[in-house]
Amino acid sequence: MSSKGSMSSKGCILATGGAGYVGTHTVVELLNEGYDVVVVDNLANATMEGLKRIEEITGKRVPAYNVNLLDTEGLKNIFSENRITCVMHFAGFKAVGKSVDIPLQYYKNNIGGTVNLLEVMNEFKVYNMIFSSSATVYGVPEKLPFVETDKTGGCTNPYGKTKFFIEEIMKDLYTADQQWNIVMLRYFNPIGAHKSGRIGESPIGIPHNLMPYISKVAAGELEFLTVYGGDYETKDGTGVRDYTHVVDLAKGHVAALKSVKNKCGLKIYNLGTGKAYSVLEMVKAFEKASGKTVKYKIAPRRAGDLPTFWSDVSLAKKELGWEAEKDLDEMCEDIWRWQCMNPGGYPSGQSKST
Ligand code: WQD
């Protein structure tokens, strides 16, 4: 799983975690835009199948390295073999609940891996970074929607803290050395799948996130959805979120890349839709898209959940010229197509959901 990347005039992007959910969708958009892409992924929470399918969708080959970001020599080798112009850093453990049980692994992998990556980039004079941050860095809202200038921190679990700490590390790095161009993209609840139905979200075992769970209930793989909390002060008592199509997010990365090339310095953008839907609205939308019934039962609130949050998306629109285009119906239709075409997710080599 390693080979030399060629170099197009547009540059060569290193995608860490490029075999994962947001990574695969972004690699497709980058290839479609004419960028060369090299992937580094240790397959801790992904499989080679995603990369194979990228090649199938785009007709382009994606050189890939099975290297852990903590492996400095392995990383240096990738930078020696490829003329990387920018790194898109998707890699990281992302299970909120698990991060509470194994915090040290989360800090070592997410933060240690990122620091290592930044050091190697520095050594190879690659100063362009686009980082997968998360709405989780905002913690408990003082007001809504979240704006990029709102305070961050106060995250309630180690996973969220790793995103917050990495943002702080990158800010310090930029303060120390303004050769860097760093764009931090704060995702709001990525859902959906590629139109082809060939790549999508492939969680292991029982999904923790809402939409993979709903789609498995609609498909009859799971009996009913447990709705965590029916007594929030929201439109119907259930939790409210800003669900964003993963292909829109992927396009947000391409827009950020253009900004990095224009030497943007340090920038932070929300990537969301600015629209907010409740759990029950999501159930209804999915029933419409799939033509199936999604049984659910209201249960107590899930520890650590916020009642409501969504994004102010005006900055990304103004500065990146990016806005989400896909609506809720399309998100649900795309998930359903992915579910029907891949009932158990990717076929082989499924791995643990660290
Ligand atoms: C959405 C809504 C739940 C499952 C988390 C992380 C975030 C990001 C995405 C990334 C909430 C409700 C869910 C279920 C339910 N992490 N729900 N029954 O919690 O907004 O965000 O995942 O990689 O950083 O915090 O997303 O999809 O888990 O929940 O009722 O079985 O659905 O309570 O209101 P969340 P989610």
DSSP 85-110: EEEEE------HHHHHH-HHHHIIII
Tell me how far the alpha carbon of residue 191 lies from the centroid of ligand 1, in angstroms.
11
Residues 186/271, Cβ–Cβ less than 8 Å: yes
| Spatial distance between the Cα atoms of 121 and 87, rounded to a whole number of angstroms | 8
Q: Which of 214, 325, 209 is nearest to 280 (CA)?
A: 214
Is 159 among the residues known to form the active site?
yes
Tell me how far the alpha carbon of residue 178 lies from the centroid of ligand 1, in angstroms.
36
Q: Between β-strands 244-245 and 190-191, what pairing exists: parallel, antiparallel or unpaired?
A: parallel
225 backbone dihedrals φ, ψ, rounded to 5°: -85, 135
Specify the pLDDT at position 353.
Answer: 44
Residue 267 has which token pair? 């920038």
Ligand 1 in reach of 96 Cβ (< 6 A) = yes
Specify the pLDDT at position 323.
Answer: 98
- Residue of the CA atom closest to atom 33 of ligand 1: 228
Average pLDDT over residues 3-20: 78
Ligand 1 in reach of 137 Cβ (< 6 A) = no
70-111 pLDDT per residue, tens = 999 999 999 999 999 999 999 999 999 999 999 999 999 999
3-state SS, one letter per residue, for 255-324: HHHHHHHCCCCEEEEEECCCCCEEHHHHHHHHHHHHCCCCCEEEECCCCCCCCECCECCHHHHHHHCCCC
Ligand 1 in reach of 186 Cβ (< 6 A) = no
- Pocket test residue of 98, 210, 234 for ligand 1, highest count of atoms within 8 A of CB: 210
Ligand 1 in reach of 164 Cβ (< 6 A) = no
Residues 15/90, Cβ–Cβ less than 8 Å: yes
- Residue of the CA atom closest to atom 8 of ligand 1: 189
Specify the pLDDT at position 1.
Answer: 55
Residue of higher predicted confidence among 205 and 104: 104
Predicted TM-score (pTM) of the model is 0.96
Ligand 1 in reach of 216 Cβ (< 6 A) = no
**pLDDT value at 7 more than 70:** no
Ligand 1 atom having least distance to the Cα of 278:
34
Neighbours of 230 (CB within 10 A): 18
Q: What is the CA radius of gyration of the chain?
A: 19
Query: pLDDT grade, residue 11 (50/70/90)?
Result: confident
Residues 343/277, Cβ–Cβ less than 8 Å: no
Mean pLDDT, rounded, of the chain: 95
Region of 220 on the Ramachandran plot (φ > 0 left; ψ -120 to 50 alpha; else beta): left
| Spatial distance between the Cα atoms of 248 and 26, rounded to a whole number of angstroms | 9
Specify the pLDDT at position 10.
Answer: 82
- Pocket test residue of 188, 189, 294 for ligand 1, highest count of atoms within 8 A of CB: 189
Query: pLDDT grade, residue 337 (50/70/90)?
Result: very high
**pLDDT value at 224 more than 90:** yes
Residues 115/169, Cβ–Cβ less than 8 Å: yes
| Spatial distance between the Cα atoms of 21 and 28, rounded to a whole number of angstroms | 11
Q: Percentage of residues in the chain with pLDDT exceeding 90?
A: 94
Average pLDDT over residues 214-243: 98
Specify the pLDDT at position 295.
Answer: 98
Ligand 1 atom having least distance to the Cα of 207:
31
158-194 pLDDT per residue, tens = 999 999 999 999 999 999 999 999 999 999 999 999 9
Query: pLDDT grade, residue 348 (50/70/90)?
Result: low
Ligand 1 in reach of 16 Cβ (< 6 A) = no
State which H helix or E strand residue 217 sits in.
Answer: helix 210-218
